[in-house]
Amino acid sequence: MSFLSLTGIQASYGPSQALFGVDLSLDEGKVLALMGRNGMGKTTTIKVICRMLAQSAGQVIFAGRDLGATPSHKAARAGIGLVPEGRRCFPNLTVHENLIAAARPGEWDVKRIAGLFPRLEERADQMAASLSGGEQQMLAIARALMTNPTLLILDEATEGLAPVVRQDIWAAISRLKAETNLSLLVVDKSIRELSAVADQAVIIERGRTVWQDDFANLSHDVTERYLGV
């Protein structure tokens, strides 16, 4: 059985419908790439998984549980860690304070974070606002890990970063895959980088799942047709 499964998800922003039938499934300990052109509904799908937006139809099953009635403040307690688009941290708290504010009991603590992102340990007493874009992204990932999730969702985690910093983020994602049992859902535009870590893939177009399979089966025809690359 899938660790996370969405079936027939529809969702709207007020009168404006954004999702018309999203299906996806992610197996435990695997990495799922959620792909689609701009504005096709990736972030909206993530909002539904994290319960920031309630679906109007369809079902979200996570770790054997129907999340239908789960409010967003309980999504973290259920084991869902989100690294949101735009890497939100508390700008006027230090790196250390940002980490502590997110902490929930489990294997991930400040010491383990330092092993994954040594740069954050060096910057522990600096205000988050003074960090570089890449360091802020590391902090956003670290904050999500501090909630000790079983599912980690990364929404455009490498967007707008310099190539060398993007490599650091991909290296961290690879380590999470290799060294933990986390399930990962990753939204990113770089198919080449995704191909190194993703086991499964789903493509959405205009709010609907149009393709879903093992990432290895993603053909040039499919990427050209749905992603324009």
Candidate segments 35-43, 74-82, 127-135, 221-229, binder of ligand ATP by CB under 6 A: 35-43
Pick one of 18, 31, 75, 173: the residue that binds ligand ATP (CB under 6 A): 18
Q: What is d(CA 221, CA 47) in angstroms, rounded to the nearest whole number?
A: 29
Of the candidates 2, 44, 136, 148, which one interacts with ligand ATP according to CB under 6 A?
44
Q: Please choose, out of 11-19, 101-109, 135-143, 191-199, the segment that lies near ligand ATP by the rule CB under 6 A.
A: 11-19
Locate 228 and state its tokens: 């324009």
Measured from the CB atom, is 12 or 126 closer to ligand ATP?
12
Out of 39, 71, 86, 115, point to the residue binding ligand ATP (CB under 6 A): 39
> Smallest distance from the beta carbon of 13 to ligand ATP, in angstroms?
3
The two tokens of residue 148 are: 């000790």
Residue 30 near ligand ATP by CB under 6 A:
no
Q: Which stretch binds ligand ATP (CB under 6 A): 12-20, 56-64, 76-84, 170-178?
A: 12-20
Binding ligand ATP (rule: CB under 6 A), the pick from 20, 22, 35, 43 is 43
Smallest distance from ligand ATP to CB 124, Å: 32
| Pairwise CA distance, residues 137 & 134, whole Å | 5
36 binds ligand ATP (CB under 6 A): yes
- Taking the complex as a whole, the smallest distance from the CB of residue 17 to ligand ATP amounts, in Å, to 9
Tell me if 41 contacts ligand ATP by CB under 6 A: yes
Of residues 36 and 79, the one with the C-beta less far from ligand ATP: 36
Q: Smallest distance from the beta carbon of 103 to ligand ATP, in angstroms?
A: 29
If one asks whether residue 181 binds ligand ATP (CB under 6 A), the answer comes out as no
Bridge partner list, 184? 31, 152
Task: Please state, as a whole number, how many other Cβ atoms lie within 10 Å of the Cβ of residue 83.
Answer: 25
Q: Can you name the residues that pair with 203 across neighbouring β-strands?
A: 35, 211
Q: Which residues pair with 31 in a beta bridge?
A: 184
Tell me whether residue 110 or residue 210 sits nearer to ligand ATP (CB atom).
210
Residues that bind ligand ATP (CB under 6 A): 13, 16, 18, 36, 38-44
